[in-house]
Structure 1
């Protein structure tokens, strides 16, 4: 068992906190739609997953630090570390919305900012100064957009916390507004490279991995960040002045995310049905579950922020798609873990 734990820690997927992101986003969506019992159940599931992943991550940092540094400075594996930030802040938002636990959420926001400062600058410094860089077709994928997701998750959690802050509320909202705009900048820069890679470079079906769904997920959480700022604009007069700009920018990102959905479903059909690429569990599939749940949540909040109740029909349908995706991937994960354990037992009898 000790050897199995060591093997698991050594090979831990850098983006596994996407499980926390997907579970938290789905829980919040269900709560907003009035399905409170399941939403609360997913909160307890997320607490367990979050603590377990941090335990494995700390063990990896202690015993395999060189491996961690190799991964975080890699063009392909490094972006996965941004899920630590996004998972932490989505979990914090879940605690506020589902359990109204502002104190623990404030600690998670501080942890999220600390992780953001380290991971953001270690990764982008490393990929900038390294001598041997991969070609664009090999070096970039949808996971790079988790940098924007992580930034927007900090904005959302900070804005939610502003309701309980008396001294320094304007400073807090200034920070969350800046993070919102910074996340927009990161998305626009990175998606330009990804779109170029999609349309002008050869894209084999095997390379169309699930993280490309973050193309949509990043704009979905950007929509949620903008909507959250709009819904809390009364806390700061400057936000009221910026309301027309934020409304337009937020709607721009929502329609961009909506545009991506049919294309991504079509490309998945092209990959798995036309080319018959095996549909088996991969931890990267959580990069598909999160965007579907986040799009549901963000559309619900956008309808409130822009006072467009007719948009509510979309989250009421999309929530079932998000639930099915989460259940399928979670079942696949449990099946994978069980068979990995049984295989290990057979090999070490």
Structure 2
């Protein structure tokens, strides 16, 4: 359920940015509870079922643990709980290189959208680091974030060469990570643009890169929506939480970019996209409840 934490956590961030604090807090509490359960399971497998942990750790979805931790840490930092957020950053940064090497070492030619989690997890470290830097935890975090930002973009390009493009038409939900990875990259870019220490040419380059990333993100968003309409895929699938996350991340990236560039219509678009993401979250949650009810009936 790492994708659930990612989806719920980013919806919480979006609700916070748009002033819906009560709903944001409820989403954060839900994401945190599931994260604790997942973290407990992760540690228990590592300590007592090491062989099973190694088998699962070399698959792309294993990077959801890193991505979920960074998303949760980002929302917690926005609460002002910087010590907790820093601890989550340390955990994510410690686990990230180990799982990343294992995952890349087991790539093949035609892979589902989860292959883009190499980018999402890396950019997640950049976003959390920048959020903490903006909160005054340490300027060095912004410098480190630049490295993760660039590395994340490189990993996206490499992952794309391994992505099965047919997943756009027949994917079960995680194919949306293709655009979600661009969204979190655009979010990281917008935070770099907002960092006051960047001036001159570097600042201008970051603005252009961020706008380009968001534009491609939105274009792919539209393509995937059209593909979903043409090849309708009803019914619940756990990978649908990996659809909700890109929807929410696109909304947050749009809102963040709008704030940095001071573009009113972009902020309006971000709010609309957040509504779409929240409604999709409710739909997937309802489908999950219905499926569980039928299984127990």
Q: Give the structure-2-normalised TM-score.
A: 0.93
Which residue does 1:17 correspond to in 2?
Answer: 2
Which residue does 1:298 correspond to in 2?
Answer: 253
* Larger Rg over CA atoms: 1
1:126 CA displacement: 4.0
Deviates more, 1:103-112 or 1:32-41: 32-41
Residues 28-73 of structure 1: CA deviation (Å, up to 9, x unaligned): 1111111111111111111111112222333333443322322333
Residues 303-348 of structure 1: CA deviation (Å, up to 9, x unaligned): 11122222112112111111111111122233444555x37xxxxx
- The answer to whether residue 25 in structure 2 is matched with residue 70 in structure 1 is no
* Distance in 1 (alpha carbons) for counterparts of 2:13 and 2:200: 26
Which residue does 1:177 correspond to in 2?
Answer: 146
Contact kept in structure 2, 1:152 and 1:179, CA below 8 Å: yes
Which residue does 1:334 correspond to in 2?
Answer: 289
Within the candidate set 159, 182, 185, 1:190 is matched to 159
- Find the residue that maps to 2:105 and give its secondary structure: helix
Aligned length: 297
Which residue does 2:222 correspond to in 1?
Answer: 262
Give runs of ≥4 in structure 1 deviating > 6 Å: none
Contact kept in structure 2, 1:208 and 1:271, CA below 8 Å: no
* Distance in 2 (alpha carbons) for counterparts of 1:193 and 1:250: 24
Which residue does 1:155 correspond to in 2?
Answer: 126
- Find the residue that maps to 1:100 and give its secondary structure: coil
Which residue does 2:266 correspond to in 1?
Answer: 311
Contact kept in structure 1, 2:115 and 2:162, CA below 8 Å: no
1:306 to 1:203, Cα distance in 2 relative to 1, 3 A = closer
1:60 to 1:337, Cα distance in 2 relative to 1, 3 A = farther
- The answer to whether residue 77 in structure 2 is matched with residue 96 in structure 1 is yes
Contact kept in structure 1, 2:133 and 2:140, CA below 8 Å: no
Matches within 5 A, 1:1-349: 16-73=1-58, 78-97=59-78, 99-127=79-107, 136-137=109-110, 140-165=111-136, 169-194=138-163, 197-198=164-165, 207-232=170-195, 234=196, 236-237=197-198, 241-272=201-232, 277=233, 279-340=234-295, 342=296
1:65 to 1:240, Cα distance in 2 relative to 1, 3 A = farther
1:310 to 1:269, Cα distance in 2 relative to 1, 3 A = closer
Contact kept in structure 1, 2:113 and 2:167, CA below 8 Å: no
* Distance in 1 (alpha carbons) for counterparts of 2:293 and 2:43: 23
Contact kept in structure 2, 1:142 and 1:211, CA below 8 Å: yes
- Find the residue that maps to 2:30 and give its secondary structure: helix
Contact kept in structure 1, 2:118 and 2:159, CA below 8 Å: no
Contact kept in structure 2, 1:149 and 1:183, CA below 8 Å: yes
* Distance in 2 (alpha carbons) for counterparts of 1:189 and 1:117: 16
Q: Give the structure-1-normalised TM-score.
A: 0.80
For the aligned residue pairs, the C-alpha RMSD in angstroms reads 2.0
* Distance in 2 (alpha carbons) for counterparts of 1:60 and 1:333: 26
* Distance in 2 (alpha carbons) for counterparts of 1:317 and 1:154: 27
Provide structure 2 residue ranges, at least 5 long, that are not aligned to the other structure.
Answer: none
* Distance in 1 (alpha carbons) for counterparts of 2:134 and 2:184: 20
